[in-house]
Structure 1
Amino acid sequence: MPMTSPCLWFDRQAQQAAEFYVSVFPRSRIKTVTHYGPGGHMPEGTVLTVDFELDGRSYTALNGGTHFRFSPAVSLVIHCASQDEVDHYWQRLSADTECEQCGWLVDRYGLSWQVVPTVLMEMLQHPDGARRRRVTAALLAMKKLDVAGLQRAFDAS
């Protein structure tokens, strides 16, 4: 079965972004770096692509110029097992407090991330509609997700 992996378009920050992301996630590494040759879209020797892994998943960062920008229409989701993990990724990645909402953040490169505790999906799939509604209401009032607050909403009667 074919595998898919995201290619992230940067102006000229592909290598810096990949190095930053690798510093944030465990079991991560830069795999290869390619450069523009003569007659390319950017000056010869400029980084073209950086292939890297975040916790074993493959990504490519591409220096393609100013033609495209990230938007919240596409985000990368981090599934966190605990509040400590949520806090770690939130603290390391969030760079624009105006863009924080419902577990979503934007990093210094403009890439959107969702930092989500795994227990949230269990709560939102619970058969009790009242519990789901309370959790959703709590979620919508949060920036960084608070596992204890979500749990309180889920358990309320």
Structure 2
Amino acid sequence: MPSISHKIQPCLWFDSQAEQAARYYTGIFPGSSISSVSLYTEAGQEIHGRPPGSVMVVAFELAGCRFTALNGGPIFKFTEAVSLIINCDNQDEIDYYWHHLGEGGDPAAQQCGWLKDKYGLSWQIVPAVISDMMRDTESGKAQRVMTALLRMRKIDFAELQRAYRG
């Protein structure tokens, strides 16, 4: 039995699409994989209501971060209160993740580098240096970056850099 090496591991609750979502996400992030799929059994069926042999939990890894996807039923839905941040090094990375994760998602939920994918999960696709850009409040750099950022849906990294430089 494998031991858990990460103290904190996100669990994503799906109705019945855990395996489909895990395959989708691992197909987008290079070097990612599904490590295990666990199935429901007859035990506890009166509580979980899932057919024996159907997918219960999928363990997968994206860019070095371990996740669990659970088919728990329609009780809970994703909200923007929780999002996953992808720190990108350049515009090509931003464009890649924006295109792949945004495909089939909710276009109305796109603002300031945020998007909602086809499963309803929110992502922030941002330059890795955005936190540094937002720290310099004395010179007005952070204010200029925020002003530029608020006008964007998908991040335009060059535009943020111009705003930062003034």
Task: Tell me the TM-score normalized by structure 2.
Answer: 0.90
Aligned match for 1:133, one of 119, 132, 143 = 143
Which structure 2 residues correspond to residues 52-67 of structure 1 after superposition, within 5 A? 52-67=60-75
- Counterpart secondary structure, 1:100: strand
Q: Pick which of 59-68 and 120-129 moved more.
A: 120-129
The 1:2/1:85 distance shift into structure 2, 3 A limit, reads closer
Aligned to 2:132: 122
1:85 aligns with 2:89: no
Aligned to 2:152: 142
5+ residue gaps, structure 1, are none
Which structure 2 residues correspond to residues 64-75 of structure 1 after superposition, within 5 A? 64-75=72-83
Aligned match for 1:103, one of 113, 130, 146 = 113
Shift of 1:2: 6.2
1:29 aligns with 2:29: no
5+ residue gaps, structure 2, are none
Query: Partner letter of residue 66 of structure 1?
Result: P
> Kindly, what percent of the aligned residue pairs are identical?
50
Q: Is the 8 A contact 2:137 2:143 kept in 1?
A: no
Q: Deviations over 1:43-86 (max 9, x none)?
A: 11110000000012100000000110000000000011111110
Aligned match for 2:123, one of 113, 125, 131 = 113
Structure 1 vs Structure 2 CA RMSD: 1.3
Q: Structure 1 segments of 4 or more deviating over 2 A?
A: 126-129
Q: Deviations over 1:86-109 (max 9, x none)?
A: 000000001221110011000000
- Counterpart secondary structure, 2:87: strand
The 1:2/1:46 distance shift into structure 2, 3 A limit, reads closer
CA distance in 2, matches of 1:66, 1:2: 28
CA distance in 2, matches of 1:2, 1:17: 22
Aligned match for 1:38, one of 31, 37, 42 = 42
CA distance in 1, matches of 2:139, 2:155: 21
Shift of 1:126: 2.3
Task: Tell me the TM-score normalized by structure 1.
Answer: 0.95
Shift of 1:129: 4.0
